[in-house]
Structure 1
């Protein structure tokens, strides 16, 4: 059985500035401050949670996370990623955090949250579109597509569809320049949050109906699934060296963000391509959190509502940082949303 949805972790780790980034075990590590990455992810979580279970706490958290994004926004449309605990220093501009900020604003605008909150999110998103055509990071482009997809579902704005199409073609160009029959990937390295790349192309196909987007999404996701599902168990690429073309793949550390992205991509693929094989992949990746992994230990902590930071060569990393918890919550929410969309939970629940 899937654990119940809860915002307990976010309530514990969010202060009046935002969501704290790291933890010592389950104690917030204030020395490490905050990140746009995690506050944007948290905004996606509470926006989607609110649509399923409207609550005052979800609204309050959404205001906090959106306010954080506004503070980290730059005049050029990009976002600082890191903020010190004393709020005196902002630094580290990345395209990945830009994409996540776009996604957070889009999810809030697409939600059933109060109109004033939604309009504030829309304004921030619209003032952040300028950098899109200058993005170079594959994951930055992919995550931006995911955010713009949610925005497009509400606005049906042809301008947003054009942004999605241009970014998707750039991902396809990267794929075509690197991939061959034995390496169906966008780069010569399989690194972090990998499944976001095929997910973006599944969603771009849903908007544009460009068959090449669907073809590359299928091929790359099949490749990723083959190298990360071993004997029916999800074994994500480790962050101690990743997996370089022609070299050995790193087995550790296994990070929760990889499992969560895999779940979301498999469910996106199922919704778009109507291929039930993707439901099995989603189940396998989700079960990684629940103990069906290489060490047979639960990554999800039902007491805290968070997750351990991953699996190391020596076992669990017992710290419970924000990224780990958010990756689980995003994946868990996608299961609930898909059940509602299909109006029947049987195809989803029979796997748990």
Structure 2
């Protein structure tokens, strides 16, 4: 995976003030009036924590995002998701996706080179994992976070319990060989369902669950590919027989697929995983259904959506973080291969 671009944090830093990262942008300009969200700040913590020898600005992002998650966390471990531009929370704590993504961010931050970040992240993780969620993606993100923590603190009790509860709750029965997916339709952040099964199966020594996760991911990589490039399911999802390609395609689908392929490549030597990771990078660089780049390499800003006739060139937080995450994963394997 030679020649992978270097992740650039310029635009993410431009989108961030002393409270957090603004959720939306008009082109490259932040839109403070739309405020901040915990989903994004958990992703900021992920990409900031992955950086080796992080620059001072990236260290600041790690500490800022960790503080935001601490403020978002309720005493029972659940999370608020939305803060307005004045710094007021405007929703109630839940165990929906913001909870799961926060645990993902905190588990990843346990790998941080910054001691204060690492210790605080583990403490927040232990409080958050007192809860469980009925939502499949929330639990999948949380399971990935637990696997990240176990990678640096083997046997950590809270992480072990969460991962075991996740694994015990996963039920994949009567899989249709023509549609081997646990939902009637692909929805959003689809690959995290495969990644969580893969991670849980590997960490817990459950080969059937590991095999199920890898099989799901292999099918998804094939399903999301067309004419030699990625063609991800659109924002409205996709079911059997839906017309292809479909739009509006979102960068989060590509980055979630890249994360899952990177984890699979750490566990299994099948070439499909690094090929999927390379295709994810290529999608951002223009190997997609309309042949247009989906990021600004000068600033690291990610574009918000791919339509049949154009690119949505607004550079919101989610899209920018999707680019950063994908490039980080690809460069990790590039470094290994050199």
Q: Normalising by the residue count of structure 2, what TM-score does the alignment of the two structures yield?
A: 0.94
| Consecutive unaligned residues in structure 1, runs of 5 or more | 346-352
The equivalent residue for 1:24 is 26
Partners of 1:254 and 1:310 within 8 A in 2: yes
The equivalent residue for 1:232 is 228
Partners of 1:77 and 1:130 within 8 A in 2: yes
Alignment equivalent of 2:312, drawn from 310, 317, 323: 317
Q: Which has the higher contact order (CA 8 A, sep 6+)?
A: 2
The equivalent residue for 2:303 is 308
Looking at structure 1, the residues matched to 223 and 199 of structure 2 have their Cα atoms a distance apart, in angstroms, of: 23
Partners of 2:290 and 2:309 within 8 A in 1: no
Greater share of helix: 1
1:5-42, Cα deviation, whole Å (9 max, x unpaired): 22112211110000111100111011110010111100
The equivalent residue for 2:219 is 223
Partners of 1:8 and 1:305 within 8 A in 2: yes
**Structure 1 residue 245, shift from structure 2 partner:** 4.3
**Structure 1 residue 314, shift from structure 2 partner:** 2.9
Alignment equivalent of 2:251, drawn from 256, 267, 277: 256
**Structure 1 residue 158, shift from structure 2 partner:** 5.2
The equivalent residue for 2:161 is 162
Alignment equivalent of 2:9, drawn from 7, 10, 18: 7
**Structure 1 residue 77, shift from structure 2 partner:** 0.8
Looking at structure 1, the residues matched to 162 and 189 of structure 2 have their Cα atoms a distance apart, in angstroms, of: 22
1:161-185, Cα deviation, whole Å (9 max, x unpaired): 23213202323x0x326x2111111
Partners of 1:84 and 1:90 within 8 A in 2: yes
SS of equivalent to 1:244: coil
Moved more, 284-293 or 55-64: 55-64
Residues 15-164 of structure 1 mapped to structure 2, 5 A cutoff: 15-49=17-51, 52-91=52-91, 93=94, 95-113=96-114, 115-132=115-132, 135-157=133-155, 159=157, 160-164=159-163
Partners of 1:81 and 1:94 within 8 A in 2: no
CA RMSD of the aligned region, Å?
A: 1.7
Looking at structure 1, the residues matched to 150 and 84 of structure 2 have their Cα atoms a distance apart, in angstroms, of: 34
Q: Normalising by the residue count of structure 1, what TM-score does the alignment of the two structures yield?
A: 0.90
